[in-house]
Structure 1
Amino acid sequence: MKKLMTLFLILPLLASSLLFPVHTDASEMNFSVSANIPENQIDKTKSYFHLKLAPGNEQTVYVTITNETSQEITILTSVNTAVTNDNGIVDYSQENPKIDNTLKYPLSKITESAGEVVLPAHSSKNYPIKISMPDKAFDGTILGGVYFKEKTADKSESQSKDIQIENQYAYVIGMMLSQNDTQIKADLKLNEITPTQVNYRNVVTANLQNTEATILKDLDIEAQIFKRDGSKVLHENFKQNMRMAPNSNFNFPISWGTKEFEPGRYRLDMIATSGEQVWKWSEYFTIDGKTADALNETALDIERDYTLLYIIAGSLLTLLILFLVFLLGRKSKKDEE
């Protein structure tokens, strides 16, 4: 049975602008959302929540949801903690993401809201989100987004037999919370270096972690892989204009191309820059034989290295020829006798 494929077009999920929501044509969306900006908004020109609240304070903010259709619809909602995905983009769409170990106050844990909203035809409702600021004072930013998508009917088994692609759109309204105006700098840490796969292609990933409660902007990364003490670049990746959510991490990939993983010791040289901040690393890592074999077995678009097989086959052929020469020599000697 062919699987039903649903394509979710998340609008918008880019931290580079934090412009929430993105307006689309009525033909694309059955509903719309807009933030009701409160008096303690830091910048009232913004269409997302950017609030300053004292430690221990509580506040309820509202988003107006409007049903643009002549039918009743149900909107699924959640308040999501911002994370960084492996493309180096701040992601607000994950309801239950893996939380970084440096994040003390995930937005999802300090807010309360309903999981869904039922809207009659051509109607609007104010959707409340209760915020409870942590009692303990902190510097920096808590970041996330209020996520909205329309609930759709489940497909029957007969409808699932053929491949279908459906466009389902979603809104995210950003939410940034702080307790004071203290500016802090992002800091970047290099964690594990791991041979793995992305879409069945061999890659080595370097886990990068923003350990501070601030957005890391305009992040450029240069990464090169060498043999342990070599000077020849084996594989490399360069990427610019990435962003990281506060207290988050992501896996930066370096493609192995069409080459098989070879067991051995390697070195990763990496430079990351954000404005005037620069981080440099030179770290060793190992690809063991068991891991290399397992990943090479399932990797796509790999140019297999048959050198060892050719050497073994050549050696066996040579031994066979020598054996035949030996037998022929013995037979010839017997004939002469």
Structure 2
Amino acid sequence: MKRYWQWILALGALLTFAGWQTPTAHAEGVGYTVSAKLPKNQDDKNVTYFALRVKPNQQEKLGVVISNQSKKSATFQYGVNQAITNNNGVIDYSNSNPKLDSSLKVGIKDVFNEQKLQKVTVPAKTSKTVYVTYKMPSKKIDGMILGGVYVKKMSGKEAKAKKGVTITNQFAYVIGVRLRESSVDVAPDMKLNEVRAG
């Protein structure tokens, strides 16, 4: 009989805690998608980013489809960013004006015409294709040029804090761009510049 009451008490406690209401945070949906219109010179058909085989002096427009899935018209910023390695050793495409290493001979900004962020407005529940254009240098390049087409939805109003702290989530998409003229891999030549406590 004693064990029966122990089970009843344990079950009652479990139901009490399960029914306890705790505040939950709901993430706002991104509301848009981005996809690449892959051209004929895509040399890897298994990926959804621009992995292109190019030639010296080649010029080409790359199309990116922005689909606004929300119920309101939205404005987007887009541009082409240089790929860099961040402090965690991970490739990063989000910085529009990164500090570049002196060993970089030809970067993504050297081959793409668009040097500033562009803007486009996409009506609700529709898609629009935007274009960025590259032109390869006349001299053949070994290795790869890496970057990314960066697309970010612009917020209509800045969030205003009334009580406490207001957190505004911002999302961005990046479609990678890899340009190379040959399949020969260039061996990395890593030089340790500085070691310090951080």
Normalising by the residue count of structure 2, what TM-score does the alignment of the two structures yield? 0.80
| Partner Cα distance (1:152, 1:97) in 2 | 24
Task: Give 2:93's aligned residue.
Answer: 92
Task: Give 1:133's aligned residue.
Answer: 136
- Structure 1 residue 123, shift from structure 2 partner: 1.3
Cα deviation, 1:209-248, whole Å, max 9, x if unaligned, reads xxxxxxxxxxxxxxxxxxxxxxxxxxxxxxxxxxxxxxxx
Partner of 2:109: helix, strand, or coil? helix
Task: Give 1:55's aligned residue.
Answer: 56
Task: Give 1:152's aligned residue.
Answer: 155
Letter in 1 for 2:43: I
Task: Give 1:295's aligned residue.
Answer: none
| Partner Cα distance (2:66, 2:113) in 1 | 17
- Structure 1 residue 149, shift from structure 2 partner: 1.0
Normalising by the residue count of structure 1, what TM-score does the alignment of the two structures yield? 0.48
1:1-337 alignment, distance < 5 Å: 28-113=29-114, 115-155=118-158, 159-160=160-161, 162-194=164-196, 204=197, 253=198
| Partner Cα distance (2:61, 2:70) in 1 | 28
Unaligned runs of 5+ residues in structure 1 are 1-26, 195-203, 205-252, 254-337
- Structure 1 residue 122, shift from structure 2 partner: 1.3
Tell me the number of residue pairs that the alignment of Structure 1 and Structure 2 aligns.
Answer: 169
Cα deviation, 1:236-261, whole Å, max 9, x if unaligned, reads xxxxxxxxxxxxxxxxx5xxxxxxxx
Letter in 2 for 1:155: E
Give the superposed CA RMSD: 1.8
Identical pairs, percent: 38
- Structure 1 residue 153, shift from structure 2 partner: 2.6
Q: Identify, as 1 or 2, the structure richer in strand.
A: 1
| Partner Cα distance (1:34, 1:170) in 2 | 13
Contact 1:63 1:128 in 2 (8 A): yes
Contact 1:28 1:169 in 2 (8 A): no
Contact 1:75 1:151 in 2 (8 A): yes
Partner of 1:188: helix, strand, or coil? coil
Q: Which of these two proteins has the greater Rg computed from alpha carbons?
A: 1
